[in-house]
Amino acid sequence: MHHKLEDDKQYHIRCGKGDLAEYLLVPGDPDRVPKIAGFWDVAKEISMHREFRAFTGKYKDVDVSAISSGIGPACMAIVVNEASRIGVKTFIRVGSCGAIQRNVKCGDLVISTAAVRLDFTSNCYVMVEYPAVASYEVVLALIEACESLGITNYHVGLTATTADFYAGQARQTMEDVTFEQTKNFVEVLQKANVINFEMEAATLFTLANLYGLKAGAICAVYANRITDEFKPNAGEEDCIKVANEAVKILADWTIEKQKQRKRWFFPSLIGKHNF
């Protein structure tokens, strides 16, 4: 049973068919939605309900939408389930994160290739061994966008998605209160070459793969847990610019694939290069 309102709008996000474009940018913060739309040629607010704020418009002649997911994996699951029912095919998380590798600075960007499933929400959908992996085309488009915009302080690799911001990311909450469950968490994940902590990517990737959709994630680094730096909003604008540009790149690649009757994107599809 799909929970829809009488006017055919999805119950939580309050969007219906035709309200959202095929490409959807998903920040956590509702205030980041108008910031994303600020780079578009045309933008219109569609809905605002609970933590879900939606805009639709055009970026470089490509139809695009943005909707906030709020904080956490359960909210992201709502966005993926409801937005996919009304025509969204590609999701790109535009988020913030905390780095757990010393060389990753505040203001850097992290493009996730896959995510460690510590979100618990994705466990409701499929066995825990199922991988939470980004679409390789979205990963490539995000890398291409960074390079074409001259943004070089980006990292590509593994992300850990947690269900909780405090104990779930091994933060001490109150004095002298420690949590055995996650005591050595940061060290273990750091040794496993995980770049960052955030709270939505694993859920997004898992559901997108289950539903045959494309998904990726790019996050600005607001904190480094190893160096104990914290710079809120550092890199946010770069993150937004890259996500918008990645949509244009994906749309161009789709046209090229159709022209050449290819199902998958590969580098030489867009011209031979002498390396």
Task: Say how far apart CA 162 and CA 145 lie, in whole Å.
Answer: 27
Q: Note if 32 is an active site residue.
A: no
Could you tell me the two tokens for 60? 């470089």
What are the contacts of 248-253 at 24+ separation with CB within 8 A?
A: 248/59, 248/60, 248/62, 249/141, 249/144, 249/145, 249/148, 250/23, 250/90, 250/137, 250/138, 250/141, 250/214, 251/23, 251/62, 253/137, 253/141
Q: Are strands 23-26 and 229-230 parallel, antiparallel or unpaired?
A: unpaired
Task: Yes or no: say if 116 and 185 are a contact pair by the CB < 8 Å rule.
Answer: no
Catalytic residue among 12, 22, 85, 256: 12
Annotated catalytic, 225?
Answer: yes
Instruction: Find the catalytic residue in 53, 225, 236, 245.
Output: 225
* List 22, 85, 171, 229, catalytic entry: 171
Q: Is 263 among the residues known to form the active site?
A: no
164 phi, psi to nearest 5 deg: -140, 145
Catalytic residue among 14, 32, 53, 82: 82
Which residues does the annotation mark as catalytic?
Answer: 12, 82, 171, 225
